[in-house]
């Protein structure tokens, strides 16, 4: 009789279950056959573990940067929203004050317009008064009219004294003019003659 190594209870051969295992045993690698080889295997596994840890740290750093950038953007957006809300509240308060003041100022303006106008005409207080209580007319004053009249008379006399230049063609010569050539301009939307010049040899 044998005892169970775990529970310590007696066991028989009927309590044992046969296990089928493969007869082929996986050989150990050549490096594991010696201590230097095992040290090399441990070094390779350590290097792989360190590389994996470094990659995880890089990913963590990138995620932290993205998170801080998103937090800064969120904070800036909250500040902008708060400033816009404050400006909106100020504008609404100013608008409310203006609306409260409009009913008070409208009757005053109506009273002023009613007192200043009488049957669609200007009141005596609105008219411009000159010296000695005389009404002044808007427009060109009499002194400017006198200067314009004197200038017109002077220029008319100078034009009458002007002599006709001898190079000026007489009327009968102009009446005998005939058309020799015609070069009409094309439209600017199509290619063609867009500019002209005088050839004095043909004139």
154-202 pLDDT, tens per residue? Answer: 999 888 888 888 888 888 988 999 988 776 666 656 666 667 777 788 7
Residues 112 and 105: beta-carbon distance below 8 Å: no
Is residue 32 scored above 80 in pLDDT? no
Q: Which of 147, 127, 145 is nearest to 137 (CA)?
A: 127
Whether 192 is covered by a domain: the verdict is: no
Centroid of chain to Cα 194: 40
Can you say whether residue 105 is alpha, beta or left, with left for phi > 0 and alpha for psi between -120 and 50 degrees? alpha
Whether 82 is covered by a domain: the verdict is: yes
Q: How far apart are the C-alpha atoms of 99 and 109, rounded to whole Å?
A: 16
Task: Note the pLDDT of residue 125.
Answer: 47
Task: Note the pLDDT of residue 130.
Answer: 53
Whether 90 is covered by a domain: the verdict is: yes
How many domains does the chain contain in total?
Answer: 1
H helices of the chain, where? 35-116, 142-161, 171-175
Whether 21 is covered by a domain: the verdict is: no
Query: What is the mean pLDDT of the segment spanning 87-100?
Result: 89
Whether 101 is covered by a domain: the verdict is: yes
Q: What residues make up the domain containing 91?
A: 67-107
What percent of the chain has pLDDT above 70? 74
Long-range own/partner contacts, residues 35-39 (CB < 8 A, 24 or more apart):
none
Residue 140, Cβ neighbours under 10 Å: how many?
A: 10
Can you say whether residue 117 is alpha, beta or left, with left for phi > 0 and alpha for psi between -120 and 50 degrees? beta
Whether 76 is covered by a domain: the verdict is: yes
Whether 78 is covered by a domain: the verdict is: yes
Query: What is the mean pLDDT of the segment spanning 37-43?
Result: 88
Whether 83 is covered by a domain: the verdict is: yes
């Amino acid at each position: 009789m044998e005892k169970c190594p775990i529970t310590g209870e007696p066991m028989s051969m009927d309590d044992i279950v046969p296990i089928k295992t493969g007869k082929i045993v996986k050989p150990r690698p050549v490096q594991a056959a010696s201590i230097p080889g095992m040290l090399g295997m441990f070094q390779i596994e350590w290097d792989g573990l360190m590389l994996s840890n470094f990659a995880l740290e890089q990913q963590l750093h990138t995620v932290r940067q993205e998170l801080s950038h998103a937090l800064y953007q969120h904070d800036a957006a909250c500040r902008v929203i708060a400033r816009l809300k404050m400006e909106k509240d100020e504008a609404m308060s100013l608008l409310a004050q203006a609306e409260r003041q409009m009913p008070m100022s409208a009757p005053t303006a109506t009273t002023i317009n009613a007192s200043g106008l009488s049957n669609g005409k200007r009141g005596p207080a609105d008219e411009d008064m000159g010296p000695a209580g005389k009404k002044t007319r808007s427009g060109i004053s009499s002194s400017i009219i006198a200067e314009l009249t004197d200038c017109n008379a002077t220029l008319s006399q100078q034009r009458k004294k002007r002599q006709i230049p001898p190079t000026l063609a007489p009327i009968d010569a102009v009446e005998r003019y005939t058309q020799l050539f015609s070069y009409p301009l094309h439209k600017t939307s199509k290619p063609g003659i867009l500019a002209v010049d005088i050839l004095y040899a043909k004139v």
